[in-house]
Structure 1
Amino acid sequence: MASIISDCTERFRQKLFGKTGGISEKTLQMHLGLYAIQVRRAKELLSALEKGDSPKENQIDGSLFRARKLDLSYCLSAAKSHELYFSILGGAGGAPQGTLREWIDRDFGSFDSFLRDLRTTALASESWAWTCLDQASGRLLNLLGDGSVTVPFWGAAPLLAIDMEDHAFILDFGWDRAAYLDSVLAQIDWESVARFLPLV
C-alpha cells in the first residue's frame, strides 16, 4: 500500500537554507527534525493500525487502538501543516499576482487588508494560522488553530500555513512573536501558495 505521507526534509533543507532572513539555519534544522519525527511516527502508527485488530465495542475506551488513532490524527495534521509552512518560506515576499491576487482582493477588499487579517489571526494563535479556500463557497478565509489536533474546518483547502508555536521562533526572536511573524510575511513564496489553488 502506498504511503499517504513522505519525508520531505531534504527537499525543504535545500529550498530554505540561506533563504529565510531572520530564521536561522539552526532553527530550521531543529524544526525540520521535529517534522521528520512527526512523519516517522505517522508511518509507524499507520503500520500498527493496519496490522492490529480492532477492539470489541466494549473495549474501545482507553484502548491502544483509540490512543493510536488520536496520535495519528495529531501526527498527520502536524506533518501536513509543517509541509505547507516550509513550502511557502524562502520566497521574495511582495504581493501575489494572477488568480490568487484577484481572489484576495475579492474576499478581503485589498491585499493590505488580507495581510492585516492574516497577521492578527496568527498573533491570536498559539499554534497555527492558515489561509484556506472554502471549497463550498469559493471564499478565502484566515483561520487559526490552537491545541494539538485542531485543523481547518472540513471542506477547507489550506493554501498557506504559519507555525506560531514557540519552536518556530524562540531561538531567533526570543518571545518577540511579532518580529518572527513579520519575517515570515516578508518571505512568502506566493508562487508556491498559488499552486495550491484549484485549476480554474
Structure 2
Amino acid sequence: MKHELPPLPYGYNALEPHYDEATVRLHHDAHHKAYVDGLNNAGARLAEARDKGDFALVKHWEREIAFHGSGHLLHTLFWQNMVPGGGGQATGAVAEQLNKDFGSFDNFKKQFSAAAVAVEGSGWAVLCWNPSFHSLVILTAEKHQNLTQWGVVPLLTVDVWEHAYYLKYQNKRAAWVEAWWNLVNWDDVNKRFEAAG
C-alpha cells in the first residue's frame, strides 16, 4: 500500500497568529512528507527483500517502517487535532472523562503541558485512551517509534520536535505549547474518544 501525504484540513495561514504560515508550510510539506516518503521507501525495500528471500536487513527496514510510520501517523493526528478558532475548555464526553481521570480540566492541562515541555530532546506529548485501564493517560515520546502502551488509542497530540515551532518560537518550547492550546480541536478529540470506546 502506497502512503500519501494527507492535505491539511485548513489553509496554511488558518492557524495564525498561534501557528505561523511559514512553519505550517515547512512542517507539513517538508517534514511530514519526508516521513511519508521514508515509509513508502522502507516498505518497498522490505518487500524486495521478501521477494528475494534475503532478510539480512530485515531489522533495519522494520525499524525504518516503525520510525517513518510513527512519524506519519502522529503528524496526521497532530494536523487534525487543530482547528482555527479552537482551544478553550474540553467539551463533551472527553471533558467528563478528563474530570474523572485527572480531577479537573485544569489539572489535565497543567500535566499535559508539563509533560510536553519536559520531553528530552525532540518528541511528543500524547493523550491516549487505554481500554485496559479504562482511563485516559498522558504519554510522552522522545523517539516516537518507541513509545507505547499496547492497545492505547491516541486522541490528542502536540509535536514538540523543534521543527514544529522553531521559526516562530525559537527555543521557547513552553511558549509554543501554551499557544497550541488555542488551536485544540475538541470536536476531533471527542470523535476519536467515541470511536475508541
Provide TM-score, normalisation by structure 1. 0.87
- The reply on whether 1:182 has 2:178 as its aligned counterpart is yes
RMSD: 2.0
What's 2:139 paired with?
Answer: 143
- Kept in 1, the 8 Å contact 2:124–2:144? The answer is no
Deviation at 1:98?
A: 1.5
Which of 78, 94, 113 aligns to 1:85? It is: 78
SS in 2 for 1:197: helix
Q: Distance in 2 between matches of 1:66 and 1:132?
A: 28
Is 1:37 aligned to 2:34, yes or no?
yes
SS across alignment from 1:133: strand
* Distance in 2 of aligned mates of 1:20 and 1:50: 42
- Give the one of 162, 165, 182 matched to 1:166: 162
Matched residue SS, 2:192: coil
Gaps of at least 5 residues in structure 2 are none
How far does residue 55 in structure 1 lie from its aligned partner after superposition? 8.6
1:101 aligned residue = 95
TM-superposed CA distance for 1:193, in Å, is 1.1
Change (3 A) 1:157 1:53: same
- Aligned pair count? 192
Report the identity percentage.
Answer: 21
Q: Is the 8 A contact 2:116 2:124 kept in 1?
A: yes
Q: Secondary structure at the match of 1:132?
A: strand
1:7 aligns with 2:22: no
CA distance in 1, matches of 2:66, 2:116: 22
Contact persistence 2:18–2:182 (CA under 8 A): no
Indicate the residue corresponding to 1:130 in structure 2: 126
Aligned CA distance change for structure 1 residues 196 and 20 (closer, same or farther; 3 Å):
farther
Q: Runs of 5+ in structure 1 lacking a partner?
A: none
Q: Tell me by how many angstroms 1:15 deviates.
A: 4.8
The TM-score with structure 2 as length reference comes to 0.89
Distance of 1:109 and 1:136 partners within structure 2: 20
Superposition deviation, residue 121 in structure 1: 0.7
- Equivalent residues of 2:15, 2:21 under 8 A apart: no
